[in-house]
Every structure is written in structure tokens, then in C-alpha cells.
Amino acid sequence: MKARRVSGRTARVRRMTSSDLTNVIRLARNSPEIQTGTSAAQFYSEGALRRWTRSRSGIALAAEVGDAFAGFLLALYSSESTDSYLSDLVVAPEFRRQGVGGLLMAEAIHSMRLLGADHVYCLVKGNNAGMLKLCEHQGFELGQSFVWVERML
Ligand SMILES: CC(C)(COP(=O)(O)OP(=O)(O)OC[C@H]1O[C@@H](n2cnc3c(N)ncnc32)[C@H](O)[C@@H]1OP(=O)(O)O)[C@@H](O)C(=O)NCCC(=O)NCCS
């Protein structure tokens, strides 16, 4: 897994474990950038995240700076389409603009390639300049805007 120096401490990316889930859920709940504006649950349940960390097609990563939880990334690989969907990437506010998001993204792309993916995509709000910039930084191309549409089954 990848590591780099951040403000004199080492930032590391590793697989998410069940002991990260409280931090992951808290950070997600405090991130308006990932809210969809519908009445559906706005983030995954603890059970869903637990399954994600154990899944062969799930990529669930956590970042640490020193001993502190610094962020997470969730992605899914589909062997049928050979696509990867980057579902969520969030870095804790105090660790932003220090390379942690880039580190998580680079490790996720590495894992996607190992799984067999030849394509990765994500949904980003049009006003989320930071994430759009990070994606461009990582070689993503920006396309058209879509409306979020969903229903519960
Ligand atoms: C978007 C986010 C994940 C970026 O994480 P990060 O750790 O700050 O990103 P990095 O430090 O690796 O940034 C890498 C590059 O991306 C670009 N970038 C990142 N954040 C930026 C911002 N707020 N404004 C402009 N450019 C930004 C810069 O080019 C940056 O390189 P630089 O710092 O050398 O200029 C983080 O801001 C975040 O968690 N935001 C809230 C949640 C969110 O929006 N998630 C995405 C939902 S789709």
C-alpha cells in the first residue's frame, strides 16, 4: 500500500477494516458534497460497509496520517462490464490539500487494474471544484452533467 510524508508525518493508505466504520460513517455524514438531495439514505449502513470490506469486487480503503484516521474511499468493480465505479472519496477537513485524496485515488486505481478493470467513472457535483480538480489531476476526463434519479426497491 502507498505512503507519503504529510506535514512531517507519514500518510498511509490501507484496506478499510470494521474498526474504521465509525470514523467512516461520521465523516460521510458531515460531507455535504456526497449528499444526493433525495429522501433515500444518504450513505451506506454499517452492515453494507462491513460486507464491502470483505467483498472481492469491493475496494474499501482507509487513510491514516500518523495514528489519525484521515479519510476513506469506496469503489466497486464489475467483472461483467470491466468497469469500476468510484462511489465515495472523502478526506477529513484537517488533512485536505496534503496529498491524501490523491494517495487514496492512486491506490484505488491500482486495485481496480489488478481486479481487471479497464475503465473507472464517478459522479461529482458540478460545484465541487476540489474533487473535479483532483480527478483531472489523476487523468480523468470531465463529461456532461446528469440529474441524480433514484428509488428504493
Ligand atoms: C475532494 C477531496 C477528496 C480532495 O482530497 P485532498 O486530500 O484534499 O486532495 P489532494 O491533496 O490529494 O489534492 C490533489 C490535487 O487536487 C486538486 N485539489 C484538491 N482539492 C482542491 C480544492 N479544494 N481546490 C482546488 N484544487 C483542489 C489540486 O490540484 C491538488 O493538488 P495541489 O494541492 O498540489 O494543488 C477533499 O477535498 C474532500 O474530501 N472533499 C469533501 C468530500 C468530497 O467532495 N468528495 C468527493 C465527492 S464526489
pLDDT per residue over 75-85, tens digit each? 999 999 999 99
Quick check: 6 pLDDT over 80? no
Ligand 1 centroid vs 147 CA: distance in angstroms? 23
Torsions phi, psi of 81, nearest 5? -95, -10
**How many Cα atoms within 13 Å fall on the side-chain side of residue 2?**
18
Task: Please report the pLDDT score of residue 7 as a whole number.
Answer: 74
Task: Please report the pLDDT score of residue 150 as a whole number.
Answer: 96
Task: Please report the pLDDT score of residue 33 as a whole number.
Answer: 97
Task: Please report the pLDDT score of residue 72 as a whole number.
Answer: 98
Ligand 1 atom showing the smallest separation from residue 91 Cα: 39
Structural domain harbouring 116: 3-137
User: Cα separation of 84 and 106, whole Å?
Assistant: 13
DSSP string, 32-45: GGG--SSSS-SS--
Quick check: 2 pLDDT over 80? no
User: Cα separation of 69 and 76, whole Å?
Assistant: 22
Task: Please report the pLDDT score of residue 4 as a whole number.
Answer: 80
How much helix, strand and coil, in percent to the nearest 5, is found in the chain? 35, 25, 40
Tell me, yes or no, whether 146 lies in a domain. Answer: no
For the beta carbon of residue 14, count every other beta carbon within 10 angstroms.
Answer: 14
Tell me, yes or no, whether 16 lies in a domain. Answer: yes
Q: For 23-77, what is each residue's pLDDT tens digit? A: 999 999 999 999 999 999 999 999 999 999 999 999 999 999 999 999 999 999 9
Task: Please report the pLDDT score of residue 5 as a whole number.
Answer: 81
Tell me, yes or no, whether 152 lies in a domain. Answer: no
Tell me, yes or no, whether 126 lies in a domain. Answer: yes
Per-residue pLDDT averaged across 112-123, rounded?
A: 98
Q: For 99-114, what is each residue's pLDDT tens digit? A: 999 999 999 999 999 9
Tell me, yes or no, whether 9 lies in a domain. Answer: yes
Tell me, yes or no, whether 116 lies in a domain. Answer: yes
Which of 65, 94, 96, 121 has most ligand 1 atoms within 8 Å of its beta carbon, as the pocket-test mutant?
96
Q: What CATH number does residue 28 fall under?
A: 3.40.630.30
Domain count, the chain: 1
